[in-house]
Structure 1
Amino acid sequence: MSTPRSYLDAPLSEGAEIHGTPAQAHHLGTVLRRGPGDAVTVFNVRDGEFAATIATLRKDRCAFALGERLRAPAAEPDLRLVVAVLKRDAFDWVVEKATELGVSAIHPVTTRRSVVDRVNLDRLSAIARGAAEQCERLSIPVIQLARPLHAVLDSWDGTPLLVAAERRDALPIGHAAHGLRLPCGWLVGPEGGFEGGELDDATRRAFVTAVALGPRILRAETAVVAGLSVLQALAGDWTVT
């Protein structure tokens, strides 16, 4: 039986007793059938990961008694995802998989072909937290409020941003990412792709490079995972041995 991991946004140190959230209490007690005295690990990006036991557990509250530190905090990749807001199930899946693939921030954007113009930050943050707990990373990606694509590009800090440009004569992503190092970003449009004017506006910016993902047209969520995987393999922490 694996040891559950719980993210705690509080200072962590050996010997401390830290209260969890009602959602964590429900998950541990009702879903996982754990109880006081059972082993868990707790973590955050500031303090690292600690062995712990469940000190108290009731229906809507819990507390953890922290033991030794198992992992020290360490730098994590600055890989950013800029993605058109998709329908709920698809976007939930994107957030989960992007978290597993190590993104540091998710910037939802609205485009001319978007069918959704807002996101539920509480739900998406909970999905990201659960994915981080499962995949053993220490951090949780920051999820921003949805904004128009041009507004995100206007406020971008100049970090290299690769954009999936289907149906255009663009450089293959593997060629564009060769020699690239993080930080960088990956931009994916809505189902049906960007309108031509949107893509023209994006690629006029010096930090944006249009790239191709091969001869097939991919669903937006597939393009997210494909591009992030290439960037992690060629420029991110998959290259660390």
Structure 2
Amino acid sequence: MIRLHVEVDLADGRDLVLPDAQARYLTQVMRRGPGDEILVFNGRDGEWLAAIAEASRRATRLTLLRRTRAQPPRGNLALVMALVKRTPLETVVAKAVELGVSEIHLVTTERTHAEYTRIERLEAIAAEAAEQTGRLDVPEIHAPEPLSRALDARLGGGRLVFCDEAGDAPPLLEALDGQPPGPLAVLIGPEGGFSTSERASLRSRKGVIAVSLGPRILRADTAALSALTVVQAVLGDWRT
């Protein structure tokens, strides 16, 4: 069944008018009309079954029928991602949503060269991924800021898995052994890797878990998805 992410509050019997882009998708691309049913969610009020009450040039209006799923607690896995080129960054955002991240922090580092910051497009990609994967929330995407500022302001002293390409850290699976479940962030650097000073600073921070992703040099997007997969399998919601 078609699922749409909406911004408005959801409640029994309420009507809502879809934005133009969603209206065109529903009526012209998917060819749905009055009486057809879809699912909607907003990240706050659970998932709702809705019927198309009107599909005209004037408006596409839905009537909420009943709630099908309650809103689950928000997850506690964050991705901290250095800016990379547009296509791999968009891939990471979409796949990170599929893998269950609760928020994405975009950061700049000493070796960051990409300047792709179209947050609105990344938010749209995240929403579409949530619609397709059955999630009831869309991860928040934070605008790019320097790495040190993001770690200080956003993540505090929480646990941070630092994917260090230098090769002198334990394998990720080994490093996670014995770690308790709970809030965790995964940090992925730029294509050029972290500088020596950045690596030293990261390793000196409280809660940082330096790890290796294996003997091969991985692209940033490959590293992000590999690390998130292992973390979810060992500590995350893949175990439920």
The question of a shared fold, defined as TM-score above 0.5 by the shorter chain, is answered with yes
Query: Offset of 1:60 from its aligned partner?
Result: 8.1
Query: Offset of 1:180 from its aligned partner?
Result: 3.0
Change (3 A) 1:39 1:161: same
Matches within 5 A, 1:157-176: 157-176=156-175
Code of the aligned partner of 1:136: G
Q: d(CA) in 2 for partners of 1:175 and 1:190?
A: 24
2:205 counterpart residue number = 205
Q: d(CA) in 2 for partners of 1:200 and 1:59?
A: 60
- TM-score, normalised to structure 1, is 0.94
1:45 counterpart residue number = 43
Aligned pair count reads 238
1:186 counterpart residue number = 186
Percent sequence identity over aligned pairs: 43
Change (3 A) 1:61 1:167: farther
Deviates more, 1:64-73 or 1:28-37: 28-37
Query: Offset of 1:36 from its aligned partner?
Result: 2.1
Query: Offset of 1:225 from its aligned partner?
Result: 0.5
Q: d(CA) in 2 for partners of 1:19 and 1:107?
A: 32
Code of the aligned partner of 1:214: G
Q: Alignment RMSD, CA only?
A: 1.5
Instruction: Determine if contact 1:77/1:182 at 8 Å carries over to the other structure.
Output: no
Q: Secondary structure at the match of 2:143?
A: coil
Q: Does 1:230 align with 2:211?
A: no
Q: d(CA) in 1 for partners of 2:117 and 2:163?
A: 22
Instruction: Determine if contact 2:112/2:192 at 8 Å carries over to the other structure.
Output: no
Matches within 5 A, 1:115-134: 115-134=113-132
Query: Offset of 1:217 from its aligned partner?
Result: 1.3
Q: Secondary structure at the match of 2:25?
A: helix
2:3 counterpart residue number = 5
Q: d(CA) in 1 for partners of 2:181 and 2:58?
A: 44
Code of the aligned partner of 1:143: I
Q: d(CA) in 1 for partners of 2:162 and 2:29?
A: 40
Query: Offset of 1:89 from its aligned partner?
Result: 0.9
Query: Offset of 1:238 from its aligned partner?
Result: 0.8
